[in-house]
Structure formats: C-alpha cells, structure tokens
Structure 1
C-alpha cells in the first residue's frame, strides 16, 4: 500500500531547497575577502603546497591564532573541487545546512514537525546567519559543532536516556574546540540541566546523575576529539627540537585562548554589546521577543525543561562572550539555534497574530524602501556615501552597476510587500531573504570583488612590473599575497613596516634591475615613498599601495631605524 507524504515533508524539502539557494547563490563568483577569508585560504593553500598539515603558516611565519580542523575541512573541499574560488565557501555552506537540519530535527522531536520547520526557518532568515553562511569564516563551522554537541546532549537529557547521543554530543564539543577554542560551549547545557534535575522540572528524560562512569565517558569523548589533533601536534612540536614549533604551541594553547578571553588585546566592546547584536543582527526573529516573553514565563512556571534548557543555554553562551572585553558580532552566532528552539513551540501561533504580521511587514517594507532610496539617490546625484564608497575602494567614479542593483533589489522587496500585505508576512519575509542574499551573491559581490579581494590590484602590479620581475611585499595583507601573480616574496607578516622595508630594500638592491617593492602607504614609509617617486598603483580594501624601484630610493631611506618613527 502506497504511503502518502505529509504536507510537512513537502515543506521540509521546500525549506531545504530554499536554504541551499539562499546560502549557495554566488559561490564561485567572487574571491576571498578580508578580514578573515584570504588569511584562511592562504593558510590552507600553503598547507597544500608544503604538505605540512600540522603547523599552519601565513607566509613564512607560523600561524597560531586558530586550531587546524577548519583548515583541514577547507583543504578537503579543495581536494573535491580543485578550485579555490569554489572550495573556500563550501565549509560554511555545508556547516550552515547541517546546523539548519539539526535545528529542525531537534524541534521536531521536542514538539512537532511544524515547530521544527519554524525553528529552522527562523535561523535561516536571521540576517547574521545568512551573512555568515555566505562567508568563509570559522564561525559557521564552529556553530555547527556546537549545535551538534547541544543536539546530542538534548537527545539524552530531554529525549533519552540515550548515552550514545550524549557521548557523540561531547565528542562534537571536542571537535568544536579544535575548530575554535570556544567549541566546548555546548557543554554549558549541563549546568541548567543539573539545576532543573535538582528542582524536579518536567520534560527531563535522562536519569538522575548516577552511574558516574557513564557521565565521565563524556569527558573522555571530549578529550578524545581534542586528542586527535593535540597529541600528534605536541609530539611533533616537542620532539622535533624546533623552537618555532614550541613557540607555536605556547601561543596557541595559552595566549590565543585563556589570555585572549581574559585580557583581549583588540575588538574591545562594552558588556551589553551582544544584546545589540541580537536585537539587530538576528532580525526578524528578534522582533518576536516581546511576544515570546509571556509564553516563556508560563513555561518557567510549568517547569518545562524542553523550553528552558535551550533558552538557559542561550543565556549562558551570551553571558560567556559578554564577560570578555574582546567581542566580535559573529561570536554569538552559535547561540542563535538555541534561541530559535526555545521559541519553536510558539512561533506557529505568534505568526497568526495581526500585530506580529504587521511588525514583520514593516521591517520588510523599511528594508526594501531603504535599499531603493540608496540606489536612486546614488543614480540621480552624488551623495556623500557614494563618493566615500567609490573613492575609498578605488572604484571608477560614476560606476552605476552597484546602485542599479540596490535599486532593483529594493524595488522587488517593496513590490512584494505591497502585493502580499501583512496578512502574508511569512511569505514576505521569505521573499525578502531570497532577494537580499541572492542579490548579494549573484550581483553585488561580483561587482565589488576586484577591489575587495585585491585581484585587480595585483593584476595591475604584475602588468607594471613585468612578467619576470620579482615583487617584494612590504606591510602586506593576506589578500595581496594570495592574489599575487608571478614571482613574489614577503618579509614576515607580524614584523613592523620598517623592519619589512629594510629587509625588502636589501633584497631588492641585490638585483635592482629585476626586483621592485609593493608597499602599503603607511605613515612610517610615506616620506621615503614620496622622495623615491613611488608610483601609486591603486586602492584595495580601503588601503593605498605604491610600487617603488630600489634604484630610486635615496641612501638614507635604504635602511631605516626600527623605531617606527615616520620619515620626514
């Protein structure tokens, strides 16, 4: 007898195809952009070229900022497609799709298939999730491992007992650690679970904390996952006798983890910073928070662990990142699915409310009108934001393709809003999401790619230098080395511009007829560049670059004092 598919099966596959379209649109149409993408691709490209997969390098220096699992995954994607322009976005695509599936499946198991669909849709439509999913940063991958860890724990703590899922969740947390140190955050769910168990909450399926051996195996699973990388790396570093490898170990295991969290040296933000991120970057889900307050209070009174375990874990993740002075908006991304799961059983009812639909309609209409206004203003005049963008990025003045695209996207969103009206706000949000991110991937990003990736700059440098001329990079950025064409050398990334200049001049003067320097126009070197008649090549990522011949550099500029003082 043939089985009839549920309408929710059809809705799931529609959501899956929609997610693939939204996240995948534009893959292969742009190159890596700063801040992080060129660095990670450069690291993996050098792994491929050197065959050293244990000690990542950025140029000639060891790169100890992050553990290597993400780099291995990126390398595996390149092994499949053999194209860096396609491969560099695949880990984020696959991880984001995996996060959506885990959110859907856990919501389905906790409440209903429809609740799972709403939870996954809420995550997908959140601005930050789609934006990060379309970029090659580590955060979508670590968010997947954290979500897999939470999923495994929830299968045991809320839907179990199921020890194998518990151990798998712990193992996933360990994989998250060797992706980015904060991968253990899924384990924070054990804290509210223990309290809820003590207070005899409802909806907790796992046995009381007895049989310490089984619980201890969770710690073993975490350590086993971390040990897949840590043990071989430590053995290679400590037995090889290379002091650079030992310095790599110290920096990665201590300075880049505990020190970076407790005493961050950059990205300082106030304690409430992530509240603003949630309010703005998690739209449209964050618009529903005022309506969710009441059902969450009722779930608290009912001691419903199914609602409050993900909600409490979200709060703990938020608190963890807020306590550190160093903050970036993407840090909080792993908490988004947990908030969506806590909202899942109520979303169906909320979206039937007239006030909710009107708020969503207003958001879409304002966004569409804003994009349309930006595009039209730039097309009919020369507003300050247009001139700032074009001059700051070295774009030809009057290049209107970008503004036509924005105007077209805004027009499509406004037209959809006027047609669908508030009563079809859910379809309207889906349409906005599709227009926004497909427009970005297929039209906006390709137009900005030449400058943002430094591809145009490095092509111009090679044209000016000639095919056989060696180009030395001074005060370089990862995208300049990644996009370099022909013979290219660098003089260390973390060294000061003056130190790089001095070594670069010594290298160039050894063969002045066949070597030139590409120099970032920093204050410390501008005096020497001006006196040498350096040729301004262009602007990339809002940075100006000059090409200088060593023969034109005056004797007093060929070796500068390493104090960082500007040359007059």
Structure 2
C-alpha cells in the first residue's frame, strides 16, 4: 500500500487513525460542493473576480463586472480561477480553495501537536479543530479567510518548528514565505509575527531557539520578496501604463485598504468588546466551554514558563487585541485564532475530557440548542404568526429541518447521557453540518441565488438584449445570462440611475433595466405600467423595466462611467 512520505515513519495505528480523521474531514467539509451557487455577501464577488480572470486573461488586476476591484490582493481569486478552470464548473470550483485551506490547516495542526505532545494528542487536536463551529463554517464558505488561515497557520508552523523543535532555519524561512502568501491573500497575513514578543521572552530565558538579527532580516526579506512578486509588476504597470483606473487601483490597494482601513475603518464599526462578547462565544464553540477549566491549567503552565503554551496562547491574545483596536470589525477576522487555540488546548485535552462538569455543560448547551430548534420548528409548522412572517420574509420554510435537529439532539442525549455531553455536542454539530450541506442548501439556494430569476429575465428580453444593473449586487451580475452593464460600485446611487436613464434612452427597444422596486419611488418618470414584476429575491422586490418606460427620465451620460461585464462561465 502506498503511503504519503509524511506517514511512513509513524506507527501503523497512528497512520490509520490519521487517514481516518483526514477522510472524515474531507467528507464533512466537502459535502455539498456542487449543490449550491455562490451566496452573498462575499462569495459572488470573488467568484465574479475569478470568472473574469478566466474570461479576459487579466490576472494581475482583479476586476468585478469590468471595473477594477481593489479591496483585496489577488491570490484567493487566482486560487478560485484555477479550481473553476480545473473542474470546469463554477458550482464545483468556487468552494474548493476553502476546502483545501481547511484540510491543510488541519494537517498542520495535527502534525505540530504530534511533534510537541505525541500521537494521541495529535488526533484529539484534529477532532477538536473539526468540532469548532467557525472553522467548519468558513471551510464551507468561499470567502478569503480560510485560505488566509491556512497561510497564517503555515507561517505559525514554520516559526514554531524553529522555536520549539529547532534550530530549523528552513522552516523559519518557509514560515516567512507563507506570511508573504498570506499578505497576497489578505493584508493581515503577517499575523504569525505576533508570536515574536513571547518568543523573545522565552529565548531570553533559554527555553527556545534564539532569534538572530541575521535570521530576522533574511526572514523579512523572504516575506517582502514573495509580496514583491505581485506588487512590483502591479505598481509598474499601474504607474507607467495609460489606464487611470489601474493607477487608482494601485493607490487604493496599497494605502486605503491597508493602514487606513485598519486605523480609520468606514464600515463594520463595532465596540472594542465585540469579539469577546459577541463573536467568541459562538465562533469558538464548543472549545469555549472548556475555558473555565483550561484557564487555571494555562496559568499553572505559564508559571512554569512552558513555551509550548506561551507562544500559541500569546498569539491568540495578541491577534484579538490587534483586531479589537481597529474600529472596523467582522466576526470572520478571528478565524486565524482557532488553530492557535487548539495548539494551546492540545496538551489539556485528555484531562478536559475527564471533567464531569465540562460534559454536563456540553449537555446543557446541546439541550438548549436542540430544544430551541425543536420548539421553533414545531411552532412554525403549527403556523405561529411571528414564525410564519419570518419564513415569508426569507422565503424559507425550515420547520421540518429544525424539528429533525431537535430530535437528533434528544436522541444523542438519551444515547450518550449527560455524562458524555462533550461527545454528544460535537456529534450533533456533525449532524447539523451534514443536513446544512444537503437539506439546508436545497432550502436556501433559491432565495439566496438569483439564478432562476436571471433565467426568467432572458426568457422575457431575449438573450441578445442588454441589461442595466444600477445599484447592483454581484450575485445578479454573476448569474446574468445576457450582456450586462453597470455604472460603478462606488458611484452614488442617484448618479448611477442618471447614467442608466441616458444609456437606456439610446436604444430603448433593445435595452432593459433591473432594479429594486423601492428605488423606483424616487423616479416617478418611470412608466411602471410597462414594467415586469420579478417578485421577491435576495431580500428585495424587483422590477424589470424596458428602455421605453424611461424615455421621459432624461439622464446624464457623464454621471458615472459605464462598465460592461464580460460574459461569464456562471452557467456551469
């Protein structure tokens, strides 16, 4: 039997156990790929970036609907374009980078814990990571953060191999190279550098490999060299080319989306305690339940100056402090803390699983979750007005699914009893993810993806008619089946409509506009008797308006630039 080189020197039982954990992870995290479209807010945007790269051959500057997209570096878009090209399908390919990132993160965490604490703890750490709510959620989402977490974990792995198991200068440089790739994925790819304060303190005490100025300089040079592979050609093309939009892209990605976004964020504004009180209680579930027992144990190990604990735990704390200091916060930003948290918890896991109170706490949480879902599902099925309105607003009827999850929680509690609550809770989460990735996808895809509506629009307009999308969302542009235009994502809405009216007026018999019904209240010049009611989609009601219905609206051709979206591969 052929075995990966990594496994050849390990004992037979661990090899098989490792393969079982990885196979379970592949099934759990990969289940559902191909069953749904990209969902807002972020997934359609990155899928559109990737499709346009494949369609236009412009890989150096990501575009969205023909407009440069400067919010993020391109590495995740490259990975998405590659996976879509390999699979030949948007539905199959768009989730693959997150899946690969999650499996890579899992393998790195298990390998490092095996080297630091032994094979049994390595397997427990892998299962702990797979049980963590935010980790699995992001593995099943086509957002940048899981691929970023893989690179930050690889960076951490390289640094810790050098610090705790070294000297290992090759891994030191690999860690810095991974951080460079992390920066090309998302600007905060340098997060493993937050391990350095604790490292320097432990090195001063003689407990870890010392950092030399030469190694630090060479490591930073590797990081900058990796970033420069993309950044220098991008800057050169934008600076010496004749396209002002690329110069604007350069300035935006280098300055506004880095320091300014961190220090003076303009959206997702949250209080300083946002992560501690509103994110970590669910994102770290069920690991967060172990903290009442883990914190005293950590304190005892910290007093013994255990570098195997101090380095990853300090990373968790400093990452939380780093993101809490910025006024702009999103829950997904703390995803890179989860592998570090597992590394810090790893040596405690056998003891924690013997804590009677922890099992009862896990059983209590499962009782609460299962009870709420069962009650909500039953009341919804019986027609409780508040739940009926909720289902109507979201166009989803999940009552049978919720009842099933409630029954599954009760069944696991009866079977395993509260004394094994921390086994029952992860098993129930596995049931949740399996049903989420199948039944849940089927329930949600029609309301979260406008695929069917865009197909219906083609049947009304004909596939040669042009479609304007003022105040557009990426999912509509992604699923469009006809030539489409928009007027700039950052352009004021009024200016977008002014430009749309002028554009429609040039060929009213061949051009149409799709817009939210609430927007048309500001434009009484639109003859809505000619409009098609496209119904409710993505939390809004929509009008499909022919060009002939806006002939009295005038419009300003100079109000905003016109972007023509390339034909995409979204039909796959």
Which TM-score tier does this pair reach, normalised by the shorter chain?
over 0.9
1:489 pairs with one of 472, 485, 488: 485
Looking at structure 2, the residues matched to 541 and 116 of structure 1 have their Cα atoms a distance apart, in angstroms, of 43
Contact 1:509 1:551 in 2 (8 A): yes
Matches within 5 A, 1:118-129: 118-129=124-135
Matches within 5 A, 1:369-384: 369-384=371-386
1:544 pairs with one of 531, 535, 541: 541
Looking at structure 1, the residues matched to 505 and 495 of structure 2 have their Cα atoms a distance apart, in angstroms, of 16
Looking at structure 2, the residues matched to 540 and 189 of structure 1 have their Cα atoms a distance apart, in angstroms, of 46
**Aligned in 2, Cα 1:11/1:423: closer, same or farther, shift over 3 Å?**
farther
Stretch moving more, 276-285 or 529-538: 529-538
Looking at structure 1, the residues matched to 126 and 434 of structure 2 have their Cα atoms a distance apart, in angstroms, of 19
| Residue equivalent to 1:261 | 262
| Residue equivalent to 2:286 | 284
Q: Secondary structure at the match of 1:22?
A: helix
Q: Secondary structure at the match of 2:58?
A: coil
Looking at structure 1, the residues matched to 296 and 141 of structure 2 have their Cα atoms a distance apart, in angstroms, of 36
Stretch moving more, 321-330 or 508-517: 508-517
Stretch moving more, 326-335 or 20-29: 20-29
Q: Cα RMSD (Å) of the superposition?
A: 2.2
Stretch moving more, 439-448 or 259-268: 439-448
Report the Cα offset of residue 201 of structure 1: 5.8
Report the Cα offset of residue 420 of structure 1: 1.3
Moved runs in structure 1, 4+ residues, more than 6 A?
560-563
List per-residue Cα deviations over 1:134-179 (Å, max 9, x = no partner): 0000000001100000000000001101000001001101110010
Q: TM-score, normalised by structure 1?
A: 0.93
Report the Cα offset of residue 435 of structure 1: 0.8
1:440 pairs with one of 436, 440, 451: 436
Contact 1:201 1:303 in 2 (8 A): no
- The total of aligned residue pairs comes to 551
Looking at structure 1, the residues matched to 444 and 234 of structure 2 have their Cα atoms a distance apart, in angstroms, of 39
Q: Secondary structure at the match of 2:294?
A: helix
**Aligned in 2, Cα 1:295/1:220: closer, same or farther, shift over 3 Å?**
same
Report the Cα offset of residue 551 of structure 1: 2.1
Report the Cα offset of residue 108 of structure 1: 0.9
Report the Cα offset of residue 21 of structure 1: 1.8
Contact 2:525 2:552 in 1 (8 A): no
Looking at structure 1, the residues matched to 432 and 331 of structure 2 have their Cα atoms a distance apart, in angstroms, of 20
2:111 pairs with one of 86, 105, 108: 105
Looking at structure 1, the residues matched to 57 and 226 of structure 2 have their Cα atoms a distance apart, in angstroms, of 23
| Residue equivalent to 1:321 | 323
Q: Secondary structure at the match of 1:519?
A: strand
Looking at structure 2, the residues matched to 559 and 239 of structure 1 have their Cα atoms a distance apart, in angstroms, of 32
**Mind listing any 5+ residue stretches in structure 1 that lack a counterpart?**
564-568
**Aligned in 2, Cα 1:4/1:557: closer, same or farther, shift over 3 Å?**
closer
| Residue equivalent to 1:222 | 223
Contact 1:59 1:493 in 2 (8 A): no
**Mind listing any 5+ residue stretches in structure 2 that lack a counterpart?**
1-7, 561-572
Stretch moving more, 112-121 or 172-181: 112-121
Contact 1:498 1:524 in 2 (8 A): no
Report the Cα offset of residue 356 of structure 1: 1.0
Looking at structure 2, the residues matched to 525 and 14 of structure 1 have their Cα atoms a distance apart, in angstroms, of 58
**Aligned in 2, Cα 1:126/1:3: closer, same or farther, shift over 3 Å?**
closer
Contact 2:500 2:555 in 1 (8 A): no
Stretch moving more, 438-447 or 6-15: 6-15
List per-residue Cα deviations over 1:246-288 (Å, max 9, x = no partner): 1111000000000000000000001111112112221100000
| Residue equivalent to 1:566 | none
Looking at structure 2, the residues matched to 95 and 454 of structure 1 have their Cα atoms a distance apart, in angstroms, of 28
